[in-house]
Amino acid sequence: MFYRFAALAALFISSMSAQEAVPSPQQAGGQEVEQPQVPELQPDLTDPSVTRAMENMERVRSLISHGAVPLVRYQRALEGIEDAKDMSILHKYLYNKELLPEQADQLIRIAQRMLVRRQADMMRMRQLASSGVVSRSEAEATDADFELAQNELRLAQTRALLIQQIAESLRIERSLASIELQVESHPEWAGTVYTKFDGHGVFTNVDRDRIAGAFQARFARPMPISADGETATHKAMHFDHRGRIDVAVSPDQTEGQWLVHFLEVNQIPYFAFRSAVPGKATGPHIHIGPGSARLAQAD
């Protein structure tokens, strides 16, 4: 009986090893037609948890071949390696400052697949415990693994949302800076894309605080300033935005109409951009202060 079990175990391991060697559709070239624009996040094979999982696989293989443990241990060892690899990715990239929004989406998918594996393992171990194949305490330990995977997924989702929000803010900031730079070279936009008011030609910090305070008092919320002075985006574009602010409201909104009226009454210069420039992903906003221009040279 023992020899029959050992032979079956050896056959099982051999077949599973062959499956491990079969390339995935992506490895086989099934998705090589289109090169991904964003690099796939790769596991850290030097991570101690990955090393331990691989060592555990070798130990389990040896035990199964001698009939010392049930075959289910092999599947769990395989999943343990995949879990360790996924965790190494999450730990390496979750708080990486260079992470791209698309890579943040990858983190979510990685955390999701780990959660699915651990949920399946938890259900399987509960069934095995009911059949007496494994101990109840061992089965209950998988509950903690499942909860950990749930937490990792929540962290990945929160991180991805933050990265996407930052990226969107930067995209909008670049778009708004771009449209403001093109005003002088597109006089035909006047009266359609934007409205200009010169006022007395001066905008000071005192004006800024007075406008912000009046806006807060009128609408019971802070004025939504999207760019305050020279941001990193403006500096990178050699765009002189010092002493100016952008407010993320449309001049056709109630808030925008009020703001435009306030600026005109107080003779404060502004550019009110009503719509996006055709072909450009820009949004309505009000630029307060004199018109901006490119810096003569980079700092």
Taking 50 as the threshold, does the pLDDT of residue 24 lie above it? Answer: no
Residues 10 and 95 in one domain: yes
Look at residues 154, 173, 192 and tell me which one is the last residue of a structural domain.
173
Q: Is the dihedral of CA 198, 200, 202, 207 positive or negative?
A: negative
Residues 101 and 133 in one domain: yes
pLDDT at position 5 is 37
Is residue 299 included in any domain, yes or no? no
Residues 235 and 216 in one domain: yes
Mean pLDDT score across all residues of the chain? 77
Is residue 178 included in any domain, yes or no? no
Residues 130 and 229 in one domain: no
Which of 12-21, 137-146, 165-174, 223-232 is least confident? Answer: 12-21
Residues 23 and 161 in one domain: yes
pLDDT at position 158 is 87
Look at residues 123, 149, 173 and tell me which one is the last residue of a structural domain.
173
Is residue 211 included in any domain, yes or no? yes
Which of 135-139, 146-150, 183-187 is least confident? Answer: 183-187
Residues 279 and 187 in one domain: yes
Is residue 84 included in any domain, yes or no? yes
Residues 10 and 116 in one domain: yes
Residues 144 and 195 in one domain: no
Q: What is the largest CA-CA distance in the chain?
A: 99
Higher pLDDT: 166 or 113? It is 113
Is residue 15 included in any domain, yes or no? yes
- At 188, is the pLDDT very low, low, confident or very high (cuts 50, 70, 90)? low
Higher pLDDT: 13 or 119? It is 119
Is residue 45 included in any domain, yes or no? yes
pLDDT at position 68 is 81
Is residue 21 included in any domain, yes or no? yes
Look at residues 148, 173, 198 and tell me which one is the last residue of a structural domain.
173
If one counts the domains in the chain, the total is 2
Residues 284 and 192 in one domain: yes
Taking 60 as the threshold, does the pLDDT of residue 291 lie above it? Answer: yes
Residues 137 and 193 in one domain: no
Residues 41 and 109 in one domain: yes
pLDDT at position 178 is 63
- At 282, is the pLDDT very low, low, confident or very high (cuts 50, 70, 90)? low
Is residue 195 included in any domain, yes or no? yes
Residues 232 and 290 in one domain: yes
What are 95-111's pLDDT values in tens digits?
887 788 888 889 999 99
Higher pLDDT: 164 or 25? It is 164
Which of 31-40, 212-221, 268-277 is least confident? Answer: 31-40
What are 249-259's pLDDT values in tens digits?
888 889 999 99
Please give the average per-residue pLDDT across 159-172, as a whole number: 70
Q: Which domain holds residue 50?
A: 2-173
Whole-model pTM: value is: 0.49
